[in-house]
Each structure stands twice: as structure tokens, then as C-alpha cells.
């Protein structure tokens, strides 16, 4: 049974900018405008057709209050209904969820979600660190940089295998990024570099090395959502949103206990269980054709496969070791190159949805996966322990 009680919603247009460490050639509204224009062109619409705009980024990072107001020239939101959303790393998927809800509710027929970030214009680590308790944890924490997952995976699978698997994951993402002309970092890494990079890439925190960590990018993404009637009229290839879920829990104080008697509730696992259960999906690894995952670091990407797909033992490691996560594999992860390659935070999670939609349409270009994509999954992640999952479908068939 479908979770949605009201109208069906489809994605009918996506647009993104070229992502880079320094988009000094444009200011914020101009950069946003690039993505907006691209999405409108993709949907063959003009800004007049948009009923409402949902705009989001992390205000802490650029130190700008109410960016939705002064980005109006870039977003085209002048005179329109508009909403601003900030939920951290998950901003992008929250924008997509909110847009879906706004259309499904019947309030609007066509909604445009816009996520953006110009990370080079602020101080990301400073911004993230400032989210912690100023009286206690802020002096101690390291922003988004943590070696804890690497520590866990190494404890469980041994140093050599764990480090190799994480680096394999990293290199697969780089190979994908090299196929994506919009990706920020595309190094041209090869599998014979696994050993070297495992030992030479500079260490940030424990075994989290510079090469494992996501980029700091500038960029924007825009996605257009329409009701079933409009989507069928306007688009030859609407991508249907089947369902989405958001799960989050308390801040990070109490998750480093490491005792078998006190298991930590993982939001990814919980979100996936709830979402798949209510959509009657028993084996997600078989059901989905592609997964655009919010993977802030190679260690996380590797580890999280287990949570999202209900894998046991070392199945997630084997998926990576056997290159099943590559574009031609059984479960392609991030054909776009993922967050490790491209991370303009407010846009990042929306890019996951946009890229998943392109895969369903068959319009991803050089990084299109070779088999037909009927069912796609996209995720968002952010502090403090947020998970957002969105399911996209080629057919309105559930």
C-alpha cells in the first residue's frame, strides 16, 4: 500500500551548475541562476510556470541571514510563494521532501527546490564546530571530521582489509566522478594506487585521510516537482516519487560507548527499515537499480551500505571488493561520483535526488548505468544523525 494519501508527484526537471572549489567567476545569486535556468530548460518551462520555490543552504557557512530574500534575482522567486529550509547536510533532501509534500497536499501544482552552497565563501569546519554546545563540546570537537567509523571497521575486519575496502570505495567514486562533467574532484585514480594511497594520503583524524574525505565545493542544484496531471501533460519522462522518510535523533554526545549490551540506534538502518516495510520491499539490494548515497567520506560510504541494504557480516565489504558498486555492477552506488567528489552542502543532498532522477530517465550521459533503471534510491545525511531517504520510480505502478 502506498504511503501517500493524496496526489502523486513527479520530478519533471533537474539542473545543476559545474561544481568547483572556487566559483569566483560568479556571485551567489548568479551561481544559483545557472542551476535554475538549467532546470527550467530541462523541463521546457519558464519561471512563470513555477507556483512556489523552496530554497535552502546552511546559513552558518556563508554567514548570510535570509539568503532566500537576497537571492531572489537568482532564484526567480520574486512575487512568488517561497519557503526557506535549513537542516544541515540533509538540506537538499529536505527541500525535495518539502516540495513533494507541498505538491502532494494540493497546495501547489509545480514547485521548484533549489539548494546551493558556496563553501569557499565561509568556513565550513568553523560552521559545523559552532553547532555543538558552546559550554562544553565546541572546544573539543572536530567538525565533520571523525575517524570513528574507520576505527570501527578496522576493529571488525582487521586493518589491512578495512583500509583496502575503504580505498577501493574511494577509487570507484573517483572513476564515476571522472565520467561526470559537473563533478568537482575527478583525479583519475586507479586501483593499483590502493596500497600507496592507504599509506601516503595525509591523515586528518585517525585513519580518516584527506583522500577519504568529501570535497568543499561551490555549486547549486534545482529540481522541479509537479502533480500527476501536470507531470503527464508537461513531461515525456516524469520520475515518480514513491515515498520519502526523515529520521533523526539526539546530538552526538552519547554514541561512543562501544558496548555490545548498549547498541546504538542507527538512523540509516531505522529509516530504511521503516521506509521499505511500508512499501513492502523485502530485499532492497534486489529491488533498487541504483543508489545515490550521501557519502561524506569513503569510510562512511563503505559502512553505511550495510545499514541501508540490511546486509550481514562482511557482505558490504564484498560488494565493494567485487566492484559490484561500480556503474556496471549489480548495485551501482553514486554513478555521479557522490559527495566525496562534489559537496556544495546545501545542494549536495538535492544532487542525490537529481542524479537518481536522471538515472531513471536515462539522461545521465557518460555516467548513465547500462541497464534500465526502474527503481532508484537517494539519501541525505547530516548532523546530528539525520537520515532522509527518497524512493523514485519510472512507472506509477505501486
Partner 1 sequence: MEYWGVKVEDIFDTMNDRFRPEGAKGVTAKFGYDITGDGKWKIIVSEGLLEVIKTDDLSDCAAVMVCDGETFVGINIGKVDAANAFTSGKVKIEGDFGQFGKTAKMFKKYVPKKAAMSTRDYILDMFGTLVSRFQPQNAPQEAVIVYDIGGADGGVWTAYIKDGKCELKEERAEKFTVKLEVQEAKDWVDVMLGKVDAFSLLSAGKAAIVGETQLALKLGEIFGKYQDPMASGTPEQELIVLKKIISVDQKFSTGPVMGKFLNALKEKKILGNKCPKCGRIQLPAREVCAECRVRVDEWVEVGPKGQVRYMEYVYYASPDPLTGETRETPYGMANILLDGCQGNDTFAHLIRRDQIDRIKGGKDDVSGTRVRPVWNEHRTGSIFDIKYFEIDE
Residues interacting with partner 1, by CB under 8 A?
A: 21-22, 24-25, 63, 125-126, 129-130, 133-143, 145-148, 151, 155, 185, 187, 189, 193, 196-197, 200-206, 210-211, 213, 215, 249-251, 253-262, 264
Which C-beta is closer to partner 1: that of 259 or that of 282?
Answer: 259
- In this structure, what C-alpha cell is assigned to residue 92? 537538499
Which C-beta is closer to partner 1: that of 250 or that of 372?
Answer: 250
Paired sense of beta strands 208-209 and 239-248, if any: unpaired
- In this structure, what C-alpha cell is assigned to residue 332? 551501482
C-beta of 58: minimal distance to partner 1 in Å? 15
- CA 4 vs. chain centroid, Å, equals 22
Query: What is the rounded distance in angstroms from the CA atom of residue 174 to the CA atom of residue 113?
Result: 27
C-beta of 135: minimal distance to partner 1 in Å? 6
Paired sense of beta strands 110-118 and 52-56, if any: parallel
C-beta of 114: minimal distance to partner 1 in Å? 23
C-beta of 332: minimal distance to partner 1 in Å? 23
C-beta of 142: minimal distance to partner 1 in Å? 6
CB 143 within 8 Å of CB 128: yes
Q: How big is the chain, counted in residues?
A: 398
Which C-beta is closer to partner 1: that of 9 or that of 173?
Answer: 173
Burial of 378 (0-12, 13-18, 19+ CB in 10 A): buried
C-beta of 209: minimal distance to partner 1 in Å? 8
DSSP string, 119-182: GGGS-HHHHHHTTS-TTTGGGT--TT---HHHHHHHHHH-HHHHHHHHHHHHHHHHHHHTT-TT
State the DSSP code for 206.
T
Which C-beta is closer to partner 1: that of 25 or that of 233?
Answer: 25
Which C-beta is closer to partner 1: that of 23 or that of 316?
Answer: 23
To which residue does cell 535556468 refer?
A: 37
Which C-beta is closer to partner 1: that of 59 or that of 228?
Answer: 59
Relative orientation angle of helices 345-361 and 91-104, to the nearest 10 degrees:
60
Which C-beta is closer to partner 1: that of 74 or that of 238?
Answer: 74
Which C-beta is closer to partner 1: that of 187 or that of 310?
Answer: 187
Query: What is the rounded distance in angstroms from the CA atom of residue 131 to the CA atom of residue 124?
Result: 11
C-beta of 88: minimal distance to partner 1 in Å? 16
SS3 state at 397: coil
C-beta of 185: minimal distance to partner 1 in Å? 6
Q: Give the closest residue to 128 by CA, choosing from 166, 92, 88.
A: 88
Amino acid at each position: 500500500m502506498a504511503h501517500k494519501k493524496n496526489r502523486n508527484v513527479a520530478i519533471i526537471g533537474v539542473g545543476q551548475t559545474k561544481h568547483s572549489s572556487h566559483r569566483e567567476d560568479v556571485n551567489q545569486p548568479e551561481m544559483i541562476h545557472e542551476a535554475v535556468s538549467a532546470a527550467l530548460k530541462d523541463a521546457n518551462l519558464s519561471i512563470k510556470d513555477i507556483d512556489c520555490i523552496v530554497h535552502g543552504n546552511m546559513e552558518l557557512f556563508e554567514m548570510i541571514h535570509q539568503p532566500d530574500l537576497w537571492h531572489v534575482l537568482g532564484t526567480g522567486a520574486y512575487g512568488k510563494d517561497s519557503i526557506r529550509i535549513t537542516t544541515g547536510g540533509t538540506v537538499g533532501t529536505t527541500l525535495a521532501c518539502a516540495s513533494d509534500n507541498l505538491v502532494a497536499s494540493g497546495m501547489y501544482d509545480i514547485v521548484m527546490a533549489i539548494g546551493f552552497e558556496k563553501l569557499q565563501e565561509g568556513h565550513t569546519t568553523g560552521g559545523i564546530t559552532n553547532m555543538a554546545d558552546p559550554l562544553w563540546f565546541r572546544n573539543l570537537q572536530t567538525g565533520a571530521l571523525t575517524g570513528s567509523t574507520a576505527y570501527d571497521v578496522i576493529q571488525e575486519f582487521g586493518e589491512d582489509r578495512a583500509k583496502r575496502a575503504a580505498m577501493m570505495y574511494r577509487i570507484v567514486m573517483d572513476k564515476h566522478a571522472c565520467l561526470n562533467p559537473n563533478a568537482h574532484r575527478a583525479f583519475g585514480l586507479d586501483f593499483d594506487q590502493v596500497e600507496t594511497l592507504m599509506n601516503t594520503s595525509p591523515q586528518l583524524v585517525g585513519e580518516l585521510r584527506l583522500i577519504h574525505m568529501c570535497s568543499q565545493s561551490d555549486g547549486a542544484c534545482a529540481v522541479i516537482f509537479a502533480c500527476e496531471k501536470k507531470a503527464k501533460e508537461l513531461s515525456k519522462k516524469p520520475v515518480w516519487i514513491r515515498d520519502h522518510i526523515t529520521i533523526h535523533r539526539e546530538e552526538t554526545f552519547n554514541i561512543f560507548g562501544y558496548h555490545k549490551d548498549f547498541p546504538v540506534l542507527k538512523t540509516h538502518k531505522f529509516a530504511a527499515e521503516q521506509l521499505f516495510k511500508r512499501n513492502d520491499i523485502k530485499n532492497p539490494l534486489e529491488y533498487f537499480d541504483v543508489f545515490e548515497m550521501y557519502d561524506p567520506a569513503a569510510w562512511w560510504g563503505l559502512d553505511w551500505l550495510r545499514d541501508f541494504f540490511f546486509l550481514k557480516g562482511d557482505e558490504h565489504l564484498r560488494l565493494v571488493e567485487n566492484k559490484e558498486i561500480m556503474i556496471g555492477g549489480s548495485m551501482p552506488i553514486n554513478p555521479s561520483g557522490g559527495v566525496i567528489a562534489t559537496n556544495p552542502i546545501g545542494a549536495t543532498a538535492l544532487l542525490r535526488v537529481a542524479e537518481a532522477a536522471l538515472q531513471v530517465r536515462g539522461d545521465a550521459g557518460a555516467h548513465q548505468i547500462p541497464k534500465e533503471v526502474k527503481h532508484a534510491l537517494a539519501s541525505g545525511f547530516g548532523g546530528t544523525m539525520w537520515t532522509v531517504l527518497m524512493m523514485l520510480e519510472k512507472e506509477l505502478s505501486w
